[in-house]
């Protein structure tokens, strides 16, 4: 399998030909208990809080490339209102260089592992864990040699 990624110096042009200048990125998730999810990513994944208010918390990690935001489900200011439900059915994925060490560390910390560590035939070694609100996080390491994939 060949994986392609764009470097920071490259500009990806949409089909229309004009590029969009993006200055920051964020992933915003609706959860029932903002404080529980925020505490979980701070303790287990090394995020730090950058801003918070009632029903809202924004967190950052120096290597994540985006802010992780938790919003309380049903928050009156959420738009569009039709999407104001829990963040189910998605994965928050981080690529790490030391998947086995992370797996052992997180298990020792008592993190709920929902998919034990495994390696796919195409070289994706991963495991999945859930925070107190059921948000699923997946850590991945791409194995490059056949020996690593065993």
Cα gap 4→141, rounded to integer Å = 15
Cα gap 103→99, rounded to integer Å = 6
Cα gap 129→132, rounded to integer Å = 10
- Residue 1 has a pLDDT of 42
- Residue 18 has a pLDDT of 74
Cα gap 67→49, rounded to integer Å = 10
| DSSP 3-state of 93 | strand
Contact 52, 69 (CB under 8 A): no
- Residue 31 has a pLDDT of 92
Cα gap 1→7, rounded to integer Å = 19
CA angle at 6 for the pair 19 and 127, rounded to the nearest 5°: 125
- Residue 19 has a pLDDT of 78
- Residue 3 has a pLDDT of 47
Contact 94, 85 (CB under 8 A): no
Ramachandran angles phi, psi of 127, nearest 5°: -150, 165
pLDDT per residue as tens digits for the range 72-88? 988 777 667 666 666 77
- Residue 21 has a pLDDT of 80
Q: Which residues of the chain have pLDDT under 70?
A: 1-17, 78-79, 81-86, 89, 146-150
- Residue 4 has a pLDDT of 47
């Amino acid at each position: 399998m060949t994986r392609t990624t764009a470097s920071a110096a490259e500009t990806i042009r949409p089909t229309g030909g004009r590029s969009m200048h993006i200055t920051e990125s964020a992933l915003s998730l609706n959860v029932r208990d903002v404080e529980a999810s925020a505490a979980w990513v701070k303790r287990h994944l090394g995020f730090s809080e950058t801003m918070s208010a009632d029903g809202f918390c924004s967190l950052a990690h120096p290597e994540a490339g985006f802010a992780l935001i938790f919003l309380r489900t049903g928050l009156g200011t959420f738009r569009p209102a039709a999407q104001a439900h829990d963040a189910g059915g998605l994965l928050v994925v981080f690529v790490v260089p030391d998947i086995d060490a992370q797996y052992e560390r997180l298990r020792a910390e008592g993190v709920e592992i929902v998919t034990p560590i495994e390696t796919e035939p195409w070289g994706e070694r991963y495991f999945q864990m859930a925070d107190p609100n059921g948000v699923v996080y997946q850590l991945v390491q791409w194995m490059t040699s056949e020996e690593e994939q065993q």
